[in-house]
Structure 1
Amino acid sequence: MQNHHLSKEMLMAILDGIDEAIHAVDKNGITIYYNKVAAGYDGMAVDEVLGKHLLHVFPSLTEETSTLLKVLKTKKPIFHENQRYENKKGQMLETVNTTIPILHGTKLLGAVEIAKNYGQLNTLSNKLLDLQAKIHETGDRKRLTTFQVTYRLTDFITNDPACIHMLHDAKLFASSTLPIVIWGETGTGKEIVAQGIHHHSPRSHGPFIAQNCGAIPSTLLESILFGTEKGSYTGATDRKGLFEMASGGTLFLDEMNSMPLELQAKLLRVLEDGAVRRVGGTSSIQVDVRIITAMNESPEKCLENGTFRADLYYRLSTCPIYIPPLRERTMDIKAILEEKLQPRISNRLDHEVLSMFQSYHWPGNVRELINTIEYLLLRAKQGPLSYKHLPAKLQQETLKVPPRKSMGALRDILQETEETIIKDALTHTGGNVLRAAKLLDIPRQTLQYKLSKMEKERMSASK
């Protein structure tokens, strides 16, 4: 009995030493464990919570909003769910909870929750955005230096027909106020196109604000986008969100498929009403914002895997733009090399190095190519750029890929391979272009362009 008592004390000491809030309830919702960190988050004493029903201590929660009570009802775990609630003192709290059922076989004994307090992180985020807002409001000229664009559509270097057509569409779309979806792999230049559209639009004198939806915790994204009202949670102040700050200009939401689905629903409401409601607020604020979104996966794939709401997609995709990966537009590699090397070094690029650049698959796309060029320039200094200056990853590729006699032969092989893959996809789908495009994970317009090009080359060869 003494050893059992000692083990229980040790367990309590361990749980109290964990730097996260832990709250456990029995199958009836009565608190059976509540550590000091949880008490500190909630601004309450441990004795105020132990032995009491959860809803008695936190009356603002319900069986639908409490993660602990939901787990008791469903017997299924919940991971990283946001929860806002008031304690008995009327203080608004915000946590992110991971809650799991306590089971003995199939019998439910209770539930335990580990909560992280994002109040402090929210406060720091708010201070940063408050500083941005103050700069934004110090006058038109000063405001533009904070949110101005640095890229034009002419900064997108390309000789590829599909990309030239894409830039033509981008310039056409810029003249409207319709929402735009840009998709392409990481590093293909989505933000260059987004900034270029803003620059060519009637909103070019307004702010351009970019926000990566996957770069910050989802619990902060709502307050960053829509702003906060004082008292909405601990440390919250009256603060404009990015929608208000971008009014009259463009808001660019990158990695849109990383945005939580419940937040996507709120974004859809903003797009339909043209108004935002701050977190904790009761009134709506009219905004005039042009939305450009970007994704690193095809919208169709995001719809299939459930990371993008269908109703939001159809609202945003009026003007779709697809940026092909660098491996599908190898002629652009030489153009980018010439553009980046011309002002930096007078020596010509070694033919062997150029061949390596043309044959490498560039998983990081243009961003990886530019970083590799910077690496080459650093290694070569003012001397000629040769094979020995290549990064190890490119040198290793030469061991895998046999050398070709000429650049023309490589292009022919790439073209033949692409045509074979396209023909196989069409055969597999019975000639259905839309289904073939989905199978190849490219837009239907891109596949139709490639088919048209193949047909012209076939007709030309038969003459």
Structure 2
Amino acid sequence: MNQLAGYDCCLDLVLNQVDQGVHIVDCAGMTIFYNETAAEVEGLQPADVIGKHVLQVYPSLTLETSSLMEVLASGKPIMNQQQTIVSRNGRIITIHYSTIPLYREGKLVGACDMSRDITKIKELSEQVMDLQVELLGTKGANKEKAKMREVKFAKYTFNDIIGSHDSIVKLKVIGQRVAATSSPILVIGETGAGKELVVQSIHNASTRKNGPFIAQNCAAFPATLLESILFGTVKGSFTGAENRPGLFELADGGTLFLDEINSMPMELQSKLLRVLQDGSLRRVGDTHVREVNTRIITCTNVDPEEAVRNKELRIDLYYRLNVVSLRVAPLRERKSDIPGLVVHFINLYNAKLGCHVEGIREEVSEIFYRYTWPGNVRELQHAIEHAMNVVSGPFISVDHLPEHLRQYAVVEDEQSYHFEEGQSLPSILKHVERTTLIQALAQFGGNISRTAAYLGIPRQTIQYKLKTHGLIDRIRNNNFVMGGSGQVEKT
């Protein structure tokens, strides 16, 4: 019998009334008491915590970083500390805590953590500091840099990333850890998965958060213009050129986010590599070397190793950018997050559009779970926004969804099949093959290569069967069979 199990029930009543979170574990780290204040702060239920190991409840912690586990190991108290954790429901919380060992008759029998949520206090203090830095920094700073800071503002934090799926919790945990360094980061994810949200969160969690955050899409400009934008120019370097700093200089002391890095022209990739290696650059047409302290975070919506094989990305640059790699899982891999995202977007557009929508119908929820979301979270957001513009009642129904989602529901109905008496085996096999092909393509977002690998047949065979079964036009006209990049994959 556990030595702490005999505590009087009156003590439970008292501990549930205090304004601090109280979390008690036994000597093995298993939770034996978790009060209501702690549950309210962390968004959990006591029943979800009691009987579970502390590291199971807080996936962001380890044996070395958990104060409860540290106290159990050392037998010594930890007093008046601050810690940021990711709870099991994905929420990031900053707490002020003290953790003490519990002894009975000289024997260590457990540990007690007493904490207070200071997340809001921390955020307010940081906002005051940001305002002070902005007031001081813009008085004597370069006007162009001050203007750039106002235009390019990173507004998102890790708490804006909605989801409690394991992949999202892990992403938040690792993202917070790497935010403390200045190493290059490569964020990989499909279009609409939320890559820039992650990048801005990393910037705002770093020591560079008071510096500028500048984003640039590498596919937006031709090579010559992109070079001058990134590295700056000197007067006379070409017709009309002026002395102008590039984005690397403007982001000095902050973060430069380069999106679609695989679209950067190869001749610029070598120049970018030099900046990453020694922290210095030359403006276009200049001989003077300038030092910069800019953190580089890059994104790609394609497999970077595939981009290397296709000679879209230099292999030496890839290894330099890929010091830390973060993958943002597509929505089809974390469908358990869809309900939370739906609630978030409904609340967002209720406020923006003046609506009073309460939720979605069950049949809409079923479509959302069956659909493969090639456009990911952004596509879900647009679907909710579309519905909110046409809905007239408190609930979103199938009729309020965009047409391609309604068609997808019809596609699912098509896949049910009843054999008829006298039907030939070839016709049955043809239908089964067609149905299997549709389901596999939907599962992999229309990616033909992945579908071929999953079915164990060559890519060319998939292309042939698409023609045989009359599915090519269907692929081009329906989003559920689009490639992971958001573009229809050519067959």
Please indicate the TM-score interval, normalised by the length of the shorter structure. Answer: 0.5 to 0.7
Code of the aligned partner of 1:385: I
The residue number in structure 2 matching 1:307 is: 312
Give unpaired runs (5+ residues) of structure 1: 1-132, 406-412, 429-440, 443-463
Match of 1:97 in 2: none
How many angstroms does 1:404 deviate by?
Answer: 11
Structure 1 range deviating more: 229-238 or 161-170:
161-170
Equivalent in 342, 360, 364 of residue 347 of structure 2 = 342
Task: Compute the displacement of 1:367 (Å).
Answer: 0.9
Query: Is residue 277–residue 283 contact of structure 1 (8 Å, CA) maintained in 2?
Result: yes
Q: 2:258 aligns with which of 230, 253, 260?
A: 253
The Cα offsets for residues 268-297 of structure 1, whole Å up to 9 and x where unpaired, read as 011112111000001111000000000011
Report the equivalent of 1:270.
275
Cα pair 1:230 1:237 within 8 Å, conserved:
yes
Map 1:359-374; keep pairs closer than 5 Å.
Answer: 359-374=370-385
Match for 1:196 among 192, 201, 208? 201
Q: Structure 1 residue aligned with 2:399, among 369, 385, 388? A: 388
- Find 2:151's aligned residue among 146, 152, 155: 146
Q: In 2 relative to 1, CA 224–381 (structure 1 residues): closer, same or farther, beyond 3 Å?
A: farther
Tell me which of 343, 351, 356 is aligned to 2:362.
Answer: 351
CA contact (8 A) 2:145 2:250 kept: no
Aligned CA distance change for structure 1 residues 311 and 141 (closer, same or farther; 3 Å) = closer
> 1:220 matched to which residue of 2?
225
Alpha-carbon separation, structure 1, partners of 2:266 and 2:146: 37
- 2-side partners of 1:175 and 1:153: how far apart? 14
Change (3 A) 1:295 1:143: closer
- Helix, strand or coil for the counterpart of 1:357? helix
Counterpart secondary structure, 2:413: coil
- Identity percentage of aligned residues: 44
SS of match in other structure, 1:210: strand
Deviation at 1:318, TM superposition (A): 0.9
Aligned residue identity for 2:179: A
CA–CA separation in structure 2 for the residues paired with 1:239 and 1:184: 33
Alignment of 1:231-242 (within 5 A): 231-242=236-247
Report the equivalent of 1:281.
286
Residue 313 of structure 2 aligns with an amino acid whose one-letter code is F
2:171 alignment partner AA: M
Is 1:184 the counterpart of 2:189? The answer is yes
Secondary structure of 1:361's aligned partner: coil
Specify the code of the residue in structure 1 equivalent to 2:369. Q
The answer as to whether partners of 1:136 and 1:146 remain within 8 angstroms in 2 is no
CA distance in structure 2 between the aligned counterparts of 1:340 and 1:305, rounded to whole angstroms = 38
Q: Write the distance in 2 (CA, Å) between the matches of 1:252 and 1:140.
A: 16
Q: Which residue of 2 aligns with 1:448?
A: none
1:158 to partner: Cα distance:
1.3
> What corresponds to 2:298 in structure 1?
293
Question: Which residue identity is paired with 2:378?
Answer: R
Whole-angstrom CA distance in 2 between matches of 1:307 and 1:367: 26
- Rounded to whole Å, the distance in 2 between the matches of 1:143 and 1:223 is 16
SS in structure 2 at match of 1:253: strand
Which whole-Å CA distance do the structure 2 matches of 1:398 and 1:148 have between them?
Answer: 40
TM-score by length of 2: 0.54
Q: Contact (CA 8 Å) 1:135, 1:143: kept in 2 or not? A: no
Residues 303-361 of structure 1, C-alpha deviation per residue, up to 9 Å, x if partnerless? 11111111111111111001111111111221100112135234231000111111112
Alignment pair present for 1:377 and 2:388: yes
SS in structure 2 of the partner of residue 292 of structure 1? strand
User: Does the 8 A contact of 1:218 with 1:260 survive in 2?
Assistant: yes
1:382 deviation in Å?
Answer: 4.7
Amino acid at match of 1:390: L
Q: When the two structures are superposed, what TM-score results if normalisation uses the length of structure 1? A: 0.57
Pairing 1:210–2:221 present: no
Counterpart residue identity of residue 338, structure 2: I
Determine helix, strand or coil for the equivalent of 2:287: coil
Distance in structure 2 (CA, Å) of the matches to 1:263 and 1:303: 15
Counterpart of 1:189 in structure 2: which amino acid?
G
Alpha carbons of 1:141 and 1:218: their partners in 2 closer, same or farther (altered >3 Å)?
Answer: closer
Give the letter aligned to residue 308 of structure 1. Answer: L
Deviation per CA, 1:167-209: give whole Å up to 9, x if none: 2111111010100000111111110000000000000000000
Report the residue type matching 1:326 in the other structure: L
Structure 2 unmatched runs, 5+: 1-137, 351-355, 417-438, 445-449, 458-482, 485-491
Distance 1:175 1:335, change over 3 A: same
- The reply on whether 1:166 has 2:171 as its aligned counterpart is yes
1:379 counterpart letter in structure 2:
V
Distance apart, 1:381 and its partner CA: 4.2
1:134 is displaced (CA, Å) by 12
Partner letter of residue 301 of structure 2? Answer: N
CA distance in 2: counterparts of 1:317 and 1:173, whole angstroms? 13
Q: For residue 141 of structure 1, report the CA deviation from its aligned partner.
A: 7.5
Secondary structure of the 1:340 match is helix
Q: Which SS does the other structure have where 1:342 is aligned?
A: helix
Partner Cα separation in structure 1 for residue 157 and residue 252 of structure 2: 21
Report whether the alignment pairs 1:329 with 2:334.
yes
Letter in 2 for 1:320: S
Q: Kindly tell me: are residues 136 and 393 of structure 1, through their superposed partners in 2, closer, same or farther at Cα, counting changes over 3 Å?
A: farther
In 2, Cα distance between the equivalents of 1:141 and 1:286? 19
Match of residue 7 from structure 1: none
Provide the residue aligned with 2:162 in structure 1: 157
Q: For residues 398 and 258 of structure 2, what CA distance do their matches in structure 1 show?
A: 40
Q: Supply the distance in 2 between the matched residues of 1:224 and 1:211 (Cα, whole angstroms).
A: 9
Q: SS of 2:297's equivalent? A: strand
Assess if the C-alpha contact under 8 Å between 1:229 and 1:236 holds in 2: yes
Separation in structure 2 between the aligned mates of residue 137 and residue 376 of structure 1, nearest angstrom: 46
Residue 401 and residue 359 in structure 1: after superposition, are their counterparts in 2 closer, same or farther (change >3 A)?
Answer: same
